[in-house]
């Protein structure tokens, strides 16, 4: 088997660079969902030399790899966040972006049941809760 001299895959998007580290690192520190542009601004502010294109590209590949979660604001803008590995949903403050990860086995079962009742397969679902967090209400 001469074709298998290495285990490492030739999959693109894996070379480690300063820029990728910077993006991953920033996401690690943040707790709320941020847009690509916000992340880019923050990185520049911190003195990282990084282009907007690269930020988009990196976020794309991170989300493809399932390492970050993406969701859309009501204006259609994509926002990103480093999340825990297991399946979960979000409770997001629509004012400050403060995010809480939540789980609901009942919801998972419900979606599976509903989908199969209607003959749907290969099912995925989005469940996001938006509201005003206690802090924002106080103001």
Q: Which is nearer to its own copies, 21 or 100 (CB)?
A: 100
Q: Residue 133, annotated ligand binder?
A: yes
Q: Which two tokens stand for residue 137?
A: 């209400």
How many residues in the shown chain lie near DNA by CB under 7 A? 28
What Å distances lie between residue 67 and 109, 112, 127, CA to CA? 24, 24, 18
Q: Indicate whether 84 belongs to the interface with its own copies (CB under 8 A).
A: no
Q: Which does residue 131 bind out of DNA, its own copies, none, counting CB within 5 to 8 angstroms by kind? A: its own copies
Q: Which two tokens stand for residue 113?
A: 């049941």
Using an 8 Å Cβ cutoff, are 100 and 90 in contact? yes
Separation between Cα atoms, residue 51 and residue 62, nearest integer Å: 17
How many residues in the shown chain lie near its own copies by CB under 8 A? 33
Using an 8 Å Cβ cutoff, are 68 and 79 in contact? no
The residues of the shown chain that bind its own copies, judged by CB under 8 A, are 72, 76-78, 91, 93, 100, 102, 104, 106-107, 110-111, 114-115, 118-134, 137
Residues in contact with DNA by the rule CB under 7 A? 6, 8, 10, 12-20, 35-37, 49-54, 56-58, 60, 76-78
């Amino acid at each position: 088997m001469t074709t298998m001299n290495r285990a490492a895959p030739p999959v693109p998007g894996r070379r480690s660079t300063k820029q990728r580290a910077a993006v991953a690192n920033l996401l690690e520190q943040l707790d709320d969902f941020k847009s690509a542009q916000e992340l880019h601004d923050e990185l520049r502010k911190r003195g990282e030399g990084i282009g907007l294109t690269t930020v988009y590209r990196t976020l794309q590949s991170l989300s493809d790899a399932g390492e970050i979660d993406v969701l859309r604001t009501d204006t259609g803008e994509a926002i990103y966040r480093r999340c825990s590995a297991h399946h979960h949903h979000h409770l997001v403050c629509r004012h400050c972006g403060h995010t809480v990860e939540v789980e609901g086995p009942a919801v998972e079962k419900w979606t599976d049941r509903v989908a199969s009742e209607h003959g749907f397969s290969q099912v995925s679902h989005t469940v996001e809760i938006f509201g005003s967090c206690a802090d924002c209400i106080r103001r």
